[in-house]
Amino acid sequence: MPRKPFVAVFLLALWLPCAGAAEAVPEAVSKMLAAIIPDQTPDEIRAAPAGGFYEVSYGMETFYISADGRYLLQGDLLDLKTQVNLTEQKRTEQRRVLMRSVKPEDAIVFAPAGKPKYTVYVFTDIDCGYCRQLHKEIKRYNELGIEIRYLAYPRTGIDTPSYYKAVSVWCAEDRKAALTDAKAGRQPPERNCDNPVEAEYSLGSKLGVSGTPTLVFSDGSVLPGYLNPKQLAQYLDAQFSD
């Protein structure tokens, strides 16, 4: 979607409550969307939590259009009463849906000996320094009950050296050993086979991954960057423990 100037939308949370979920989308909203984004169909249109506006989603992109089709608001919508970022809440829902497409067998999994306490997907790049640091401590993550499921995200893109390294690792007879060697700086023997590397890179792009490592949790929330095992365990306990 073409970028529009940022409009502060947090005051909208003070307006009227949203309309019923079954309310039809106003014709003015549909016409405006057809005019500004003529070649795409929105994934969802629904009454926004701010009265008089509709929430429109195209993939991970969410914005708001007034019921008369005149005003478009792009930015995060905050509920000042509950202190909840409603737009980020929407993104989290969208990420959770997208992550359902990931098959466990398409990840390179480092799991604890027993039942994991937490499972974390990590978008990783073989040549990324912080990704290598995370992997150096993989045993400790596992000892703390954290299962790490690696998904490939070669930061330099498709058909680059990092991409081909990820493919070679995936196609190795022992993927875990090959990944460990590659993250230690050893060039993996060149291999090719059917692999999920391009699909995982595409998924990461849809999720908004812009760097590695990027951690994705069970609720669809994300955390960019590296946390050491103790920090990650504390974060998971704070966010997800009963």
CA atoms of 3 and 210, how far apart (whole Å): 18
> 131 catalytic, yes or no?
yes
- What the block records as the tokens of 208 is 């908004």
Return the bridge partners of 220, or none: none
Q: Which of 95, 127, 155, 171 is catalytic?
A: 155
DSSP-derived secondary structure letter, 109: E
Q: Which residue in 128, 132, 149, 171 is the catalytic one?
A: 128
Q: Which of 91, 95, 106, 125 is catalytic?
A: 125
Rg (CA), the chain: 21
Catalytic residue among 95, 106, 131, 132: 131
Listed in sequence order, the DSSP H helices in 44-174 are: 86-99, 129-136, 138-143, 161-170
Active-site residue flag, 125:
yes
User: 79 catalytic, yes or no?
Assistant: no
Question: Which amino acid belongs to residue 206?
Answer: K
**Residues 100, 121: Cα–Cα separation, whole Å:** 12
- Which residues are paired to 79 by β-bridges? 84
In angstroms, rounded to a whole number, what is the distance separating the alpha carbons of residues 237 and 119?
12
Residue 167 to residue 104: CA distance in whole angstroms = 17
Q: Which residues are catalytic?
A: 125, 128, 131, 155
